[in-house]
A and B are shown apart, each in its own frame.
Chain A
Amino acid sequence: MTLTQDGAHSSVDAPAQKRGMNLTLRIWRQKDPSVKGKMVTYKVTDISPDMSFLEMLDVLNEQLIMQGDDPVAFDHDCREGICGMCGVMINGEAHGPQQTTTCQLHMRSFKDGDKIDIEPWRASPFPVIKDLAVDRRAFDRIIQAGGYISVPTGTAPEAHATPVPKKDSDAAFDAATCIGCGACVAACPNASSMLFTAAKVTHLGLLPQGQPERDDRVVNMIAQQDLEGFGGCTNIGECSHACPKGISMETISRLNHDLLGALRAGARPKS
C-alpha cells in the first residue's frame, strides 16, 4: 500500500507539483543476444509524478524515435498489474522500490534529479532478447512438466460434486495469483525459480481435484526447473519480498514437504 510507504497524498491536500522532474536514466542496451550490452545514459525532462514508470519510458522512446535512434525495447502489455509481461530491475530491485509490478510503479516514487539504473532480469534461464526484454519461456516449460490437472474438456463432473473447504480454497487462490513475471528469479541471488514452482504446486495441491497427480507434479516440475538451469533455493526470501502478488514463502515449505513425501512414495521424474 503506497499511502504510507512513499508519502503519497491526495492532490487535494497538496496539489501535485506543476513542474515535472528531470531525471538521469542509465539503461541496459543490448541489440540482440549475440552482442555485448552496456549501460547508456539518457536524460528525460519534465516528468510528471503521476506518470507510470513505463509511461516515462514511452516519453523517452518517442524522443529516441524522433532523433532517429533505436527506442529501448521493453516488455509490457496490460499495464494494470495482472498480465505479468513487464518487469525490469530498477536501481537493483526487481520492479523497483515498491512491491508492485513495474507498470504500477509511478514516478511519484522518485524525485527531481534522481539517477535511475534500469536493467533486464538477470538470470541465465531468462536470456536477453533485446535491451530490457528477456525470454521467460522456461516458466511455461515448468508448467508443461506438471502444472495442470489432467481433465479433458467435457469430462468434468458437476461442480458441486466435491465441496472444497473455504480455507483450502482461499489458500489455493492466494498461491494461484502468481502472474509469472519472473521477479522472484531476478531477485534471488541463486536465480532460483522456486517461488514460481511452489506457487503452482501449492495452488493445485490444496484442491481435491489436484490430488491424483500431486506426487508426479512436484517431482516433474522440480526436475524441469533444474533442467532449465535455475539455481537452488536456499530460503533467503528475496523472492517473496520482490513478488508483486505477495506469494508467501510458505508455498516453498509446502513444496518441500510434498517433494519429500513424493520421493518417499517412489515418485520419480519422467526421463
Chain B
Amino acid sequence: MPLELFTTGEPIADTKAPTDVPIGERWSERRFRGRLVNPANRRKMTIIVVGTGLAGGSAAATLGEAGYKVTSFWYQDSPRRAHSVAAQGGINAAKNYRNDGDSVHRLFYDTVKGGDFRSRENNVHRLAEVSVNIIDQCVAQGVPFAREYGGLLDNRSFGGTQVSRTFYARGQTGQQLLYGAYQALERQIAAGNVEQHARTEMLDLIVVDGRARGIVARDLVTGEISTHFADAVVLATGGYGNVFYLSTNAMGSNATAIWRAHKRGAYFANPCYTQIHPTCIPVKGDYQSKLTLMSESLRNDGRVWVPKERGDDRDPREIPEDERDYYLERIYPSFGNLVPRDIASRQAKNVCDEGRGVGPGGLGVYLDFAEAIERLGRPAVEAKYGNLFDMYAQITGEDPYTVPMRIYPAVHYTMGGLWVDYDLQSSIPGMFVIGEANFSDHGANRLGASALMQGLADGYFVLPATITEYLADGPFEKIDDAHPAAAEALQGVQDQVQKLLTINGTRTPASFHRELGKLMWDLCGMERSEEGLRKALDRIPEIRQEFWTNVKVSGDWHSFNQTLELAGRVADFIELAELMCVDALHRRESCGGHFRAESQTPEGEALRDDDNFAYVAAWEWTPEGQPPVLHQEALEYEYVHLAQRSYK
C-alpha cells in the first residue's frame, strides 16, 4: 500500500467492557461498576441529542424521564418523520416465544456470524440481552405488533437464522416502533424535560479542552446559525447511504453531523461496510431521486431469473422455461432464492454485467410469482404480499400478478459509522453515538430486522445507563459564545455557508451528488477492486475541487433555502466518499458487504483474511493534504469461533 493513502497510528481498544467476567455477566457488571448521577444532580445536567429516529427519539425520551435537561434537534418538521419510519420487516428479540430453541446466546451467535466476524462480541451480546426488554417496552407503549388469535404476539423468520424471532407490525414495523418513541418524546416535551428544535440541522461540534461541549446548528426556516451548549452530546443521525445518491434512504438523510464530528476528532470506523439490498425497484431514468425497497420476504415465494441469452428482450412471459436461468437456484441449490442479502445482490450484478439483465438499461432481474400463483392461487399471494404488489404497481405502472417484477440491488444501510467504545462513547470524551450512526454491532453485514433492535437498544437501555459514568464528573464549567472554541466553530460554519452562496458557478448541488453517487456505485459498490478504487481516488478530489469552484446555490442563508441545505450535505458526502474508498482499498479481503474482486474463493464467494484483517479500522481525520491515520482495534473471538460462511 503506497504511503500517501494513509498512515498507521497507535492501536485503539475498548477499555470499558469488563472482560474479567464471563460475557453473559459483562453488561450487568458494567452497570454496577459505572458511577451514577443522583436525581438532584441530573436536573443540573444538559444533554444534546441530535436526531429523533429510533435511537435518538428513544434516548431523548428516556433521558428526559430520568430527569436530565435534554435538548433535541431534528431536521424534519416533526420527530415522527425520521427515516426509521420506513423500516418494513420487523425487529428481532430473543424471547423464544416459539419454543424453537432461541436464546440470547443464539441471537448473539447469529449476529456475530451474520456480520462475517467483524463485529465486537461484547456489544453484540449486550444487544441480544436487551432485545427482550425492547419488546416489553414497546408493547406497553401501545405498539400494535401482529398478534395471533389467542391474543399473543406473532413471530416470523428472517434471513440468516433458523428460528422465528422477528416481531412485526405488517410491513410497517419501523413506523409503529418510531411512533412509540415519538409519543414518549412528545410526552417529555410537554412535561418540560426536553427542549425541541424542529427543522434545525447540526453543522459542527464544539470541543472544549478535549470534551464535546455543544454544537453549532442552523435553523432551516430562519437560517439563523447559533451555538448550543451541554454537558454531553449524543449523535443519533443515522447512516450515510446517500453518499451513493440513489439509495433507500430518505432524501434528507445525510452524514453531515457525523462527518463534522469526525473532522473534530471522532474516529470513523469501517466506512467501507455498506449493505446493498437485493430486492429494490430498478432505476427508471436520470431523473430518479431515490430507490424503493421491496421487502426481503418476497424471496420466500418469488423465483429470480434472467434469460439465458444475452440481449434477449422478448416479453418475459414468452420466454420458455428452458431458455431461463434461475441462477440463484442453480448456483446455490440448498439455499436457492433465500441466500443472504450480500450474495443475492452480487449475483444479480454478475448476470447484468454479462449482458443478461432485463428492463431499461439492462439493470434488472426478474422476480417471478407465476409459479407461486399457480401453486397457492392468486388470493393466497394477495393475502401475503398484497400491499407490496400494490406499491410496486403504483411506482412502475406494471401489474406484478401478470408480469414478473423487475428488481435490482440498491444501497440500504451502512454498518460503518463513528467509532464507539462499550459505553457508546466516541473517541471524543462527552460525545456519544447511537443507532446506525455508530459502527459497533453489525460487523461487515447486518442481518434483517436487526437495525430496529440496535436503534432501540442503544436509545432506551444502553446509552441512558452508560452515560452516567461520564456525567458523574459533571456538570462541567459553563461556557458561552465568548469561548474561543465556540467562536471558532460558529465562524467556521458561517464562512462555509457564505462561501457556498458566493461561488455562483454553473452546476447545481444535485448534479454533483448524482456524479459522486454514480462513481461510488460503480467503483465502491457491490464489488470493489484495486484498480477501480484507485480510479475513484483519482476522481473524487477532482469532483471536490470542481464543487468548490463551480457549484451554484441560489438564494440567501437567512431564509428557508433547501438548495443551500443540500449543498452543505453534498460537500460532506464528497469527503466521506474518499475515506470510504481508502478504507475499501486498504482492506484487501472480502467480508460481508465488502467484496474485493481480488479476494474470492475458486467458486467466486467472499474470502476473508482473518490473519491480516480481523480488526476494526478506525480512521482519524487529518487536515487537508495529509493522509488519514488508521487505528486498528483487534477483534478477538472468545465465544464464537471464526468460520467461513457457505450457502451452497
Cβ-based interface call for A234 (8 A):
no
B252-288 vs A, Cβ < 8 Å mask (1 yes, 0 no): 1000000000000000000000000000000011011
CB < 8 Å: which of B65, B175, B252, B397 contacts A9?
A: B397
Known contacts A52-B289, A153-B58; is A71 also within 8 Å of B554 by CB?
Answer: yes
Contact B460 A153 (CB under 8 A): yes
Q: In the complex, which residues 52-71 of chain A have their Cβ closer than 8 Å to any Cβ of chain B?
A: 52, 54-55, 58-59, 61-62, 64-66, 68-71
Cβ-based interface call for B624 (8 A):
no
Contact B142 A149 (CB under 8 A): yes
CB < 8 Å: which of A133, A151, A209 contacts B560?
A: A133
Residues of B within 8 A of A158 (CB): 136
In the assembled complex, the CB of B57 is this many whole angstroms from the nearest CB of chain A, namely: 12
Number of A-B pairs whose CB atoms are under 8 Å? Answer: 246
Stretch from A81-89, A248-256, A258-266 at the B interface = A81-89
Contact B189 A144 (CB under 8 A): yes
CB < 8 Å: which of B287, B317, B559 contacts A12?
A: B317
Contact A169 B139 (CB under 8 A): no
Known contacts A9-B397, A82-B172, A172-B144; is A77 also within 8 Å of B184 by CB?
Answer: no
Cβ-based interface call for B157 (8 A):
no
In the assembled complex, the CB of A102 is this many whole angstroms from the nearest CB of chain B, namely: 13
Known contacts A78-B83, A156-B136, A159-B153; is A49 also within 8 Å of B395 by CB?
Answer: no
Task: Give the distance in Å from the alpha carbon of A79 to the alpha carbon of B293 in the complex.
Answer: 11
Contact B560 A130 (CB under 8 A): yes
Contact B142 A204 (CB under 8 A): yes
Known contacts A3-B399, A159-B153; is A62 also within 8 Å of B78 by CB?
Answer: no
Residues of A within 8 A of B149 (CB): 166
Residues of A within 8 A of B315 (CB): 12
Of listed A64, A76, A152, A153, residue having the most chain B CB within 10 A: A153
Task: Give the distance in Å from the alpha carbon of A136 to the alpha carbon of B559 in the complex.
Answer: 18
CB < 8 Å: which of A155, A159, A162, A180 contacts B78?
A: A180
Q: In the complex, which residue of chain A has the Cβ closest to the Cβ of B145?
A: A169
Residues of B within 8 A of A104 (CB): 394-395
Contact B287 A65 (CB under 8 A): no
Residues of A within 8 A of B77 (CB): 75, 85, 135-137
Contact A50 B285 (CB under 8 A): yes
Contact B86 A82 (CB under 8 A): yes
Contact A69 B554 (CB under 8 A): yes
In the assembled complex, the CB of A233 is this many whole angstroms from the nearest CB of chain B, namely: 22
Task: Give the distance in Å from the alpha carbon of A16 to the alpha carbon of B396 in the complex.
Answer: 11
Cβ-based interface call for B135 (8 A):
yes
Residues of A within 8 A of B252 (CB): 77
Residues of B within 8 A of A22 (CB): none
B196-225 vs A, Cβ < 8 Å mask (1 yes, 0 no): 001000000000000000000000010000
Q: In the complex, which residue of chain B has the Cβ closest to the Cβ of A108?
A: B397
Residues of B within 8 A of A137 (CB): 77-78, 198
Q: In the complex, which residue of chain B has the Cβ closest to the Cβ of A83?
A: B81
Task: Give the distance in Å from the alpha carbon of A78 to the alpha carbon of B178 in the complex.
Answer: 14
Cβ-based interface call for B572 (8 A):
no
Residues of B within 8 A of A2 (CB): 390, 393-394, 397
Q: In the complex, which residue of chain A has the Cβ closest to the Cβ of B359?
A: A11
Q: In the complex, which residues 375-412 of chain B have their Cβ closer than 8 Å to any Cβ of chain A?
A: 390-391, 393-399, 402-403
B123-158 vs A, Cβ < 8 Å mask (1 yes, 0 no): 000000000010111111110111111111100000
Contact B85 A78 (CB under 8 A): yes
Task: Give the distance in Å from the alpha carbon of A153 to the alpha carbon of B152 in the complex.
Answer: 22
Cβ-based interface call for B608 (8 A):
no
Contact B250 A50 (CB under 8 A): no
Contact B142 A172 (CB under 8 A): yes
Contact B395 A209 (CB under 8 A): no
Cβ-based interface call for A113 (8 A):
no
Cβ-based interface call for A100 (8 A):
yes
Known contacts A71-B554, A104-B394; is A79 also within 8 Å of B289 by CB?
Answer: yes
Contact B76 A156 (CB under 8 A): no
Cβ-based interface call for B347 (8 A):
no
CB < 8 Å: which of A69, A71, A147 contacts B562?
A: A71
Of listed B80, B250, B397, B553, residue having the most chain A CB within 10 A: B397
Task: Give the distance in Å from the alpha carbon of A70 to the alpha carbon of B561 in the complex.
Answer: 9
Task: Give the distance in Å from the alpha carbon of A170 to the alpha carbon of B146 in the complex.
Answer: 7
Contact B152 A176 (CB under 8 A): no
Known contacts A78-B86, A153-B461; is A159 also within 8 Å of B250 by CB?
Answer: no
Residues of A within 8 A of B61 (CB): 153
CB < 8 Å: which of A1, A62, A108 contacts B510?
A: A62
Residues of B within 8 A of A16 (CB): 397
In the assembled complex, the CB of B32 is this many whole angstroms from the nearest CB of chain A, namely: 16
In the assembled complex, the CB of B95 is this many whole angstroms from the nearest CB of chain A, namely: 7
CB < 8 Å: which of A76, A108, A150 contacts B251?
A: A76
Contact B86 A80 (CB under 8 A): yes
CB < 8 Å: which of B62, B170, B189, B198 contacts A173?
A: B170
Contact B152 A163 (CB under 8 A): yes
Cβ-based interface call for A226 (8 A):
no
Contact A139 B78 (CB under 8 A): yes
Residues of B within 8 A of A84 (CB): 78, 80-81, 85
Cβ-based interface call for B292 (8 A):
yes
Task: Give the distance in Å from the alpha carbon of A24 to the alpha carbon of B646 in the complex.
Answer: 57
Contact A164 B78 (CB under 8 A): no
Residues of B within 8 A of A31 (CB): 559
Contact B78 A156 (CB under 8 A): no
Contact B398 A147 (CB under 8 A): no
Cβ-based interface call for B226 (8 A):
no
Closest 10 CB pairs of A and B: A163-B151, A148-B183, A156-B140, A144-B190, A173-B144, A156-B136, A159-B139, A153-B62, A10-B398, A8-B397
> Knowing that A75-B77, A148-B184 are A-B contacts, what are 5 other residue pairs whose CB atoms are under 8 Å apart, sorted by A's residue number?
A78-B251, A79-B251, A159-B95, A166-B148, A172-B144
What are 23 pairs between A and B in contact, CB < 8 Å?
A3-B399, A8-B397, A12-B398, A12-B403, A51-B287, A58-B510, A65-B552, A73-B560, A78-B81, A78-B250, A79-B250, A80-B292, A106-B395, A143-B186, A148-B184, A149-B140, A149-B141, A153-B58, A153-B65, A154-B137, A156-B141, A157-B140, A203-B142
Chain B: residues with CB nearer than 8 A to chain A?
58, 61-62, 65, 76-81, 83, 85-86, 95, 97, 133, 135-142, 144-153, 169-170, 172, 175-176, 179, 182-184, 186-187, 189-190, 198, 221, 248, 250-252, 284-285, 287-290, 292-293, 315-317, 390-391, 393-399, 402-403, 460-461, 464, 506, 508, 510-511, 552-555, 559-560, 562-563
